[in-house]
Structure 1
């Protein structure tokens, strides 16, 4: 009977050792997952900062675009006014040039 008790104790200890090994493996896996998550969070923070910088530059470019568009419209208006003025006085200029020639 002592042998049976000893065998039961040994079997029970083997099962416990096996379970402890499984738990150690699971804890190691969890630690790896946690490390990957921490690295992922760090990368996400860096990407967020990068996107914020790009958004800021884009906003500045959009403001510049509207300034350029306004300048082009103003140049067109001034040019159109000068052209209209020139066309209005062109016959007089031609007549004056012909009279002085």
Structure 2
């Protein structure tokens, strides 16, 4: 099996305020389906209001992200599936629920725990 990251930036979700409860319900249902199918590793969104720091090897902290990173926000789902086609199918299901395209990336070998 291979781990895949399905993600989207928070700014990609351009939905009407009245549709938000439905999108939340449907996105939670998509993640629940992945859990029930036994392919979910992790799902969640970053707290965009939390303090972002970089931590050095000595434990010191510096405010902010790497300059080249820019903003990293939005939702993330990690799945463990046998084929890329399976990953695309789950990404499509999440895209439909969230009403926005999803980015799909595969983790490098050695990521499995």
Q: TM-score range by the shorter chain?
A: under 0.3
Larger radius of gyration: 1
TM-score normalised to the size of structure 1?
A: 0.22
Q: Which has the higher contact order (CA 8 A, sep 6+)?
A: 2
More helix by share: 1
